[in-house]
Amino acid sequence: MPVQVKLPTVLRPFAGGAEKVAVETPGERTVGAVFATLEQQHPALRRRLTDEQGALRRHVNVYLGNDNIRDLDGLETQLPDGCELLVLPSVAGG
């Protein structure tokens, strides 16, 4: 089962308007692998989530269930089969 990545409205134009993007990772199923695969499917979306070195952008939060992946293993966080990742902008800026 692919991982479902649920996007905030502002990012949906970068995924063809979709609310959710299904990502099938070729190897191990981690958040980083999901983003690496997104690079192939929706490169403009991936750039908004991570910088060019692959780091999650500072004010982007990604949740697995109720857990922010920063409180888990970050991009190394292992994902269960068919799970949903929720992308949310943090409360930031003036």
Q: Say how many CA atoms lie within 13 Å of 73 toward its Cβ.
A: 8
The nearer residue to other proteins, 51 or 76, going by C-beta atoms, is: 51
Q: From the CB of 53, what's the least distance to other proteins, in Å? A: 5
- The residues, any chain, with a CB within 8 Å of residue 37's CB and separated by 6 or more, are 23, 24, 25, 26
Residues at the contact surface with other proteins, assessed by CB under 8 A: 10-11, 43-44, 47-49, 51-53, 55, 57, 59-60, 89-90, 92-93
The nearer residue to other proteins, 53 or 66, going by C-beta atoms, is: 53
